[in-house]
Amino acid sequence: MYLYSLTLQQATGIVCAINGNFSGGKTQEIAVARGKILDLLRPDENGKIQTIHSVEVFGAIRSLAQFRLTGAQKDYIVVGSDSGRIVILEYNKEKNVFDKVHQETFGKSGCRRIVPGQYVAVDPKGRAVMIGACEKQKLVYVLNRDTTARLTISSPLEAHKSHTICYSLCGVDCGFDNPIFAAIELDYSEADQDPTGQAASEAQKHLTFYELDLGLNHVSRKWSNPVDNGANMLVTVPGGADGPSGVLVCAENFVIYMNQGHPDVRAVIPRRTDLPAERGVLVVSAAVHKQKTMFFFLIQTEYGDVFKVTLDHNGDHVSELKVKYFDTIPVASSICVLKLGFLFSASEFGNHGLYQFQAIGEEPDVESSSSNLMETEEGFQPVFFQPRRLKNLVRIDQVESLMPLMDMKVLNIFEEETPQIFSLCGRGPRSSLRILRPGLAITEMAVSQLPGQPSAVWTVKKNVSDEFDAYIVVSFTNATLVLSIGEQVEEVNDSGFLDTTPSLAVSLIGDDSLMQVHPNGIRHIREDGRINEWRTPGKRSIVKVGYNRLQVVIALSGGELIYFEADMTGQLMEVEKHEMSGDVACLDIAPVPEGRKRSRFLAVGSYDNTVRILSLDPDDCLQILSVQSVSSAPESLLFLEVQASIGGDDGADHPANLFLNSGLQNGVLFRTVVDMVTGQLSDSRSRFLGLKPPKLFSISVRGRSAMLCLSSRPWLGYIHRGHFHLTPLSYETLEFAAPFSSDQCAEGVVSVAGDALRIFMIDRLGETFNETVVPLRYTPRKFVLHPKRKLLVIIESDQGAFTAEEREAARKECFEAGGVGENGNGNADQMENGADDEDKEDPLSDEQYGYPKAESEKWVSCIRVLDPKTATTTCLLELQDNEAAYSVCTVNFHDKEYGTLLAVGTVKGMQFWPKKNLVAGFIHIYRFVEDGKSLELLHKTQVEGVPLALCQFQGRLLAGIGPVLRLYDLGKKRLLRKCENKLFPNTIISIQTYRDRIYVGDIQESFHYCKYRRDENQLYIFADDCVPRWLTASHHVDFDTMAGADKFGNVYFVRLPQDLSEEIEEDPTGGKIKWEQGKLNGAPNKVDEIVQFHVGDVVTCLQKASMIPGGSESIMYGTVMGSIGALHAFTSRDDVDFFSHLEMHMRQEYPPLCGRDHMAYRSAYFPVKDVIDGDLCEQFPTLPMDLQRKIADELDRTPAEILKKLEDARNKII
């Protein structure tokens, strides 16, 4: 079995983000690392985040930093990754790619303890960069310019110190003196040697300054000073002319200003009033904002509160450090302050936000300062505050993030054409169920009912130079309705259009006149109101029409074509006639090329399953240039012209191309390339779109021509970043559509469906899925589908949180306190806030502030029944007494008394640390009542361990309780033990069954294949895996095969060899005799690993599903970082050969951007086996043309054929 791996939805979580002017000039961009993806984002003028560029680097990006050479206008990016190399990237605006400027190898690849890459720090003046590891190693590279102003990089200078852990690294701004880097270090050598523990308790963190002597080309430890033992992060303080220099040390509960030869200035970080006393406050992200005259820092704590830190300084002397409460936003992995007054917050979990500054915290608020720091016997006096709603920031945009994707199922609950992906995302109060549908999201602008069933719709401008459309013309079976577009859309009668007949086409002709084609003729309405009418000869009527701004071709019944052209005066002149062999099915004329008088090509589709290209040139007018036979009669034709691109914002460069698209009656869209000179057709591709014959319309998206295909659902064909995408729109079936442009909606689409006129806009391009969000209460863990009622049962649980009642009580209390202004330091301002807050519906939404923290042994959990169709929760059971739900399954016991029951495995008082401990485990059995909408507890059975896996098996319930696999039957008062096997190595986390086989996944030891013998009532293991795998997800593929994913980011398949499987099935004892001969505690038989692939992200769910109707199934996976991917089995040996060769050439010719070897990355833990990386293959179109041709030559194909293969492979999956 060979698999093709393809990422369907790229990771949406963010590891780190930096901001800078990467494209040069004034615009600020944000570079974000999403694990193995590097993205460049930019807020556009409407304050929406746009992705400018995205590249998969096949390596783990761990840190980013930006720097600028003195006097330059452009920032470079330094990437610290797992490649053992330092990589410096420059964004190339013209080509829209990242250029690798430098790549220097310094160590082994992989995320290792002493190989640098975890931290990157740059000198603020851009003269040097330091790259550090968790322990020991730090390397400094000197950056400079050569005579042609190109960036140069020196050989590395070592600043190692062994037995030293490094917590954070930053550059120190010391103007143009020698560059200095600061590090928080901890020496552990003595603690390792001292059995009394004294050395360990005395271990002291140090702030160390490393100075790079540019003259001597040498790095020395310049200064080392003890620092607070809770220190975890450093922030550069502006120096030189801008500030006092030095660093801010963020420590647990404190912010400390430190510099060489300067006394420490310390201030406490204010605490939330409801925070348990034993918990510290840790800073997790920070940003600095620098203007000409002032600077300040924003630091965010682990609870999401943002504080503004300011320094009062006089020259180099800092007299006071103030920490003032700013606002509370969801916890971020990085925050970036942009010059335009935006704050980008890359959330740890859940959607990322773009905020605009309303104020910069000048107003009085809770503040702690170094000057009123009080030291008491128990330490420093804390300062308290109460979070309030946003005052200084306002959110203007958010970027969806699925991180963390906890569970996922592909189901077709809504009975749509394609299945939906139901995914459990987020954590704590920001958790949600997201329903993903493949396709682009649209925004509906207006829906209005029309009298009768419209058959077609067009929009026209009055003049070619107009920006917006003037009329919407709707045709019915016997009439035409004209609507004028203005402040309102209303019916008009003075347009000159004939309203007593249906229309076939309405368009602008020449510069300023309008044309209406109806079955009996062509009505030409001149700008001054004169009307010219051309009538069809005899009794013949017009059946089809093709037109552009200057040319019209009509087809009469019987198959005669008549060609008109608009002359210099705007008059429509008949040019040529041509008799076709039979009736014409459809027509289209290519748009008039820029600067020409006419387009050269006419396409005619006939009912004999052919499409012909005819010439419209005067010298060979209506002569057939080429013929293409198609699989079914064409229904609609459309020329789509793709302008030449040399990259830029749109992406990869590609030459100009003309595509002929034909929608066939069997629902297939057929796309061929038309040679722009000869009209010859080549390179055809087809794709099934739906059950209805696709109708094709030309619209414009982002100023480029795109194609709308209306089959049983609408599709959009467009070019995005150099790729042609054909993507469904998440909208209902449409009959007819036209582009629409007005001052409210510059690029919309007007369409008819049923008896309604619909105007909509297409949102973000380039997305694979659009989502519908249903909020949840706690971190969702798992969910199951009630098979008959199509309801979802979700279990949610959170550690260290208060129950809903406790939270409600606490909130009331806090508002009472806030109302009388007694919280924190009793600020007068607080009173006002309290009053304001009550005006808002939800003054303190948990979504933004997070749940208050409780002790870590407290658990909250709930079981929810959710109707996905209405997105409503029909039943929500909150568990009591620190009980948390861990596993769920539906079960039908064989006595059938109750029908489908729900089994939920729970644990009371679970504790992970310092030792795993629990009070008791339970299995709850619930009965569905009220049509499955509600749950009723039947009984609760206590078990001795954590029931992490439940599964129905032969009318009984199988439960994995710690290392025990047990079979239960339903009793009146409790579950009854029937049979058990205690021979599992650690903890059972998954159980799947098929016939009499049971596939058990162990948390640490991969899969165990078991059998149940009913006659002897025995469960026994007959095969297991020889590789220790820390399973995170598993899925049963077939009788002998299991798919699994481990904690380290690998996906693998294991299979029981065919002969063994047969032997076991034929053996009357079921392989039991052999079982007794198992050695070293293992099973007698071993499964083979048949597939192995490193995804590079923790896979949390696996499922076998097909995303296209009638397509073959692939294995879909979801990951913690919020990406969704698929593994699709190849069906032919030729394809395997082709793709493995393409992959090989791609590896050689186009090594990954951040320096990690592709093969090594995919084999990070185990050698990759029988999986071809589609993500790498799909980078083929982004290669330069000559490289594409070179690879294509090696494969004996043309680049276009390779693109077609890639497109086909993708179309098989989604």
Q: Which residues bind another protein (CB under 8 A)?
A: 13, 15, 35, 60, 62, 82, 111-114, 117-118, 133-136, 162, 165, 167, 186, 188, 191-197, 200, 203, 232, 252, 282-285, 302-303, 331, 333, 348-349, 403-404, 406, 427-428, 779, 798-801, 856, 912-913, 1032, 1047-1049, 1096-1098, 1119-1121
Pick 768 or 1123: Cβ nearer another protein: 1123
Pick 789 or 1047: Cβ nearer another protein: 1047
Pick 117 or 1071: Cβ nearer another protein: 117
Q: Is 1203:1211 a contact under the CB 8 Å cutoff?
A: no
Interior angle at CA 327, CA 324 and CA 330, nearest 5: 130
For residue 347, the minimal CB distance to another protein (Å) is 10
Non-local (6+) Cβ contacts of 793 within 8 A are 783, 784, 785, 786, 863, 864, 865, 866, 888, 890, 902
Pick 115 or 562: Cβ nearer another protein: 115
**DSSP conformational letter for 963:** T
Strands (E), 610-767: 610-615, 624-629, 634-642, 645-646, 653-654, 657-664, 668-674, 681-688, 695-701, 704-710, 714-720, 723-728, 736-740, 748-753, 756-762
Separation of alpha carbons 655 and 672, rounded Å = 16
For residue 821, the minimal CB distance to another protein (Å) is 30
Pick 143 or 286: Cβ nearer another protein: 286
For residue 1136, the minimal CB distance to another protein (Å) is 29
Interior angle at CA 1055, CA 1052 and CA 1058, nearest 5: 160
Separation of alpha carbons 2 and 1141, rounded Å = 14
For residue 1066, the minimal CB distance to another protein (Å) is 42
In 44-136, alpha helices (H): none
Pick 282 or 396: Cβ nearer another protein: 282
Which strand (E) or helix (H) includes residue 187?
strand 180-187
For residue 203, the minimal CB distance to another protein (Å) is 6
For residue 920, the minimal CB distance to another protein (Å) is 20
Nearest residue to 585 (alpha-carbon basis) of 515, 665, 658: 665
Separation of alpha carbons 736 and 750, rounded Å = 8
Pick 849 or 968: Cβ nearer another protein: 849
Separation of alpha carbons 1155 and 100, rounded Å = 9
For residue 168, the minimal CB distance to another protein (Å) is 9
Strands (E), 470-583: 471-475, 480-485, 489-491, 505-509, 513-518, 521-525, 531-535, 542-547, 551-556, 560-566, 572-579
For residue 1092, the minimal CB distance to another protein (Å) is 18
For residue 1179, the minimal CB distance to another protein (Å) is 22
For residue 252, the minimal CB distance to another protein (Å) is 8
Token pair recorded at residue 196: 């009394």
Separation of alpha carbons 884 and 904, rounded Å = 10
Pick 916 or 982: Cβ nearer another protein: 916
Cα-based distances in Å from 930 to 181, 826, 867, 901: 67, 52, 13, 13
Nearest residue to 750 (alpha-carbon basis) of 694, 699, 696: 699
Pick 97 or 281: Cβ nearer another protein: 281
Token pair recorded at residue 618: 């005067």
For residue 878, the minimal CB distance to another protein (Å) is 17
Q: Is the dihedral of CA 714, 719, 720, 724 positive or negative?
A: positive
Pick 799 or 1179: Cβ nearer another protein: 799
For residue 268, the minimal CB distance to another protein (Å) is 18
For residue 330, the minimal CB distance to another protein (Å) is 10
Pick 133 or 474: Cβ nearer another protein: 133
Separation of alpha carbons 506 and 514, rounded Å = 7
Pick 164 or 823: Cβ nearer another protein: 164
Phi and psi at residue 598, in whole multiples of 5°? Answer: -155, 160
**DSSP conformational letter for 347:** E
Separation of alpha carbons 373 and 375, rounded Å = 7
Residues recorded for the chain = 1214
Pick 431 or 730: Cβ nearer another protein: 431
Separation of alpha carbons 825 and 270, rounded Å = 10
For residue 856, the minimal CB distance to another protein (Å) is 8
Pick 110 or 1109: Cβ nearer another protein: 110
Non-local (6+) Cβ contacts of 894 within 8 A are 954, 955, 956
For residue 1117, the minimal CB distance to another protein (Å) is 13
Q: Is the dihedral of CA 809, 815, 821, 824 positive or negative?
A: positive
Pick 331 or 925: Cβ nearer another protein: 331
Token pair recorded at residue 18: 């930096």
